[in-house]
């Protein structure tokens, strides 16, 4: 499943597609949204935001289209008169200046008044979005020590969208490796410097993955991995997908375990308790 950086990049494409004119056409597959197309025609898309893995399309009439891709949903941008060739089911389409943004296969779609968006049951449970909201390292440090989080193992906590929204499985492994922390440690086990180092990499690697289309590795380690014949699936990461390969930092063999029912990759030497 795509993580926050991938959803934010998709939102950027949709925003570019839809924010430079008025809505010429709109269509929704679900009966509960059938009344909205005539109301949206002539309106504008003001902004496209993300909240973790959810997307928010904000309209000038103060309504917001919420969608969550879940496992199979995908947005496609295309010319309105050239329908994409796909076996996926169309769920929503918005057209501006002859260009369309179409949502396929997603089932979690709804329309909300902007001033009631915080009542959405999924959004209400989310922590701050690292890419669409103003989140600094200090804010993350403070959240690490909140009662809901400070005694939880880092391996599970970093997947909890209620802690921060947008982190997922590959970012979890990468953040813990660069921070030099075992997934078994808890925020309360760390020194103040350790919590700040963790907060730094939570934020910086999420932004790096957004800017580089999912590459979280260091340039010098990427060149080293390429010289060893690693595929992009491996060299884009420092540890994720690299089980059995040498750690770029210490040359120990990288390992894989399951934490919170998801695979986690780590260096047993660099990330020892």
- Report the b/e string of 161-200 with b at 16+ CB within 10 A: bebbbbbbbbbbbbbbbbbebbbebbbebbeeebbbbbbb
For residue 256 the two structure tokens come to 């894989």
| Sheet with 90-96, side-by-side order of all strands | 23-28, 90-96, 99-104, 74-79
Residue 264 has phi, psi (to 5 degrees) of -130, 130
For residue 19 the two structure tokens come to 């924010």
Nearest one of 155, 128, 158, 141 to 264, comparing CA atoms: 155
Catalytic residues: 2-3, 53, 262
- Report the b/e string of 52-88 with b at 16+ CB within 10 A: bbbbbbbbeeebbbbbbbeeebebbeeebeeeeeeee
Other beta carbons less than 10 A from residue 17's beta carbon: 20
Q: Contact, 90 vs 105, CB < 8 A?
A: no
Nearest one of 190, 208, 203, 15 to 127, comparing CA atoms: 203
């Amino acid at each position: 499943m795509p993580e926050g950086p991938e959803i934010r990049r998709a939102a950027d494409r949709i925003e570019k597609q839809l924010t430079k004119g008025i809505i010429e056409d709109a269509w929704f597959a679900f009966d509960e949204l059938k009344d909205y197309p005539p109301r949206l025609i002539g309106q504008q898309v003001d902004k496209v935001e993300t909240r973790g893995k959810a997307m928010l399309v904000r309209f000038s009439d103060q309504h917001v289209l919420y969608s969550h891709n879940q496992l199979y949903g995908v947005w496609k941008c295309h010319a309105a008169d050239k329908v994409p060739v796909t076996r996926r089911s169309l769920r929503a389409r918005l057209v501006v200046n002859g260009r369309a943004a179409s949502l396929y296969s997603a089932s979690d779609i709804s329309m909300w008044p902007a001033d009631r968006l915080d009542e959405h049951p999924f959004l209400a449970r989310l922590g701050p979005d690292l890419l669409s909201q103003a989140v600094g390292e200090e804010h993350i440090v403070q959240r690490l020590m909140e009662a809901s989080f400070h005694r939880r193992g880092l391996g599970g906590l970093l997947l909890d969208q209620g802690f921060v929204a947008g982190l997922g499985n590959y970012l979890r492994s990468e953040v813990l490796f660069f921070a030099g922390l075992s997934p078994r440690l808890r925020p309360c086990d760390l020194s103040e410097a350790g919590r700040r180092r963790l907060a730094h990499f939570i934020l910086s690697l999420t932004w790096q993955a957004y800017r580089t289309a999912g590459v979280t590795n260091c340039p010098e380690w990427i060149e080293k991995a390429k010289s060893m014949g690693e595929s992009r699936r491996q060299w884009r990461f420092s540890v994720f997908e690299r089980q059995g390969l040498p750690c770029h930092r210490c040359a120990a063999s990288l390992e894989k375990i399951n934490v919170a029912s998801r695979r986690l990759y780590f260096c047993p030497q660099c990330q020892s308790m």
